[in-house]
Copies of this chain bind each other. A is one copy, B any other.
């Protein structure tokens, strides 16, 4: 870890040295969509890539936060430093995420080895997946050995977020309604581990059986070869099954690292590819709008589209042609 001898270290230097407040500030700026964060992220990037990034997802109310809390404790008892990123896209207007931080912090507030932040990005251009990827870089560069990303698994965005983790945990509970079963179904393909939480409830065995059935039905696994997704029953509030989940997380990481780390490299390559495409999409659009003179310059065209004198498809093709038509490949 580089030591800084000047009086005032840069934000990046502070973060690399584990400065909690500098990290919190940068994540906040990422969450706010501040464009000035990119030079800092560029400096941090070489320090990232060593953590075990774990994604937790599941419908609202399945007990993800409690489960993450217990798993954090397990990792801490095993001497690992942990960063937690709670991504809550559903409370952009309420400041709920910040309140969430405080509640969550309580159990680990005296433990310097744990760093917990929430994000509630509304993100005009880049969106949730992009800013979450950036925040993960911050936690990794801080030196957190384990980075946990937790999000409500309902929209495609949320699926993308956790899918970019090294290990993806899908959490469910017994006896959810049909709507929620549908959600679960959408998450089947991305899970490395499945947790049936609140397993002391009626129907736990059935939920596990159904999950197993759905896993058996999934024709293909697009994650690293040779891993059979596991199903673990937990009662997070009673700390039951948490040991098994911890062991499964460690096992999956070992699986990724086995044989020269071919599987880990594949997962990481997917992650980088997605991040690069997200960045490209964001910056291209922003820079293009700049070139075009901003949204205001398009105002007349937009009015014409509203009046049906033009259509957005042809307008868009023409704009792209004007912007990229002459560019060298």
Interface residues of A (CB under 8 A from B): 38, 41-42, 45-46, 48-49, 59-61, 88-94, 96, 122-123, 125, 127-128, 152, 154-158, 177, 179-180, 182-183, 185-186, 188-189, 265, 268-269, 272-273, 275-277, 279-281, 283-285, 287-289, 291-293, 295, 298, 302-303, 305-306, 308, 311-317, 319-320, 322-324, 326-329
19 new A-B contacts, CB < 8 A, other than A94-B186, A291-B328, A323-B324, are A38-B317, A41-B311, A49-B308, A59-B60, A60-B154, A61-B179, A89-B186, A90-B155, A155-B155, A156-B157, A265-B306, A269-B302, A272-B306, A276-B315, A277-B285, A281-B285, A291-B327, A324-B327, A326-B326
Instruction: Flag if B276 contacts A320 (CB, 8 Å).
Output: no
How many copies of this kind of chain does the complex include? 2
Q: How far is the CB of A326 from chain B (nearest CB, A)?
A: 6
Most buried by B among A94, A156, A281: A156
Instruction: Flag if A90 contacts B154 (CB, 8 Å).
Output: yes
Q: How far is the CB of A289 from chain B (nearest CB, A)?
A: 8
Interface secondary structure of A, over-half rule = helix
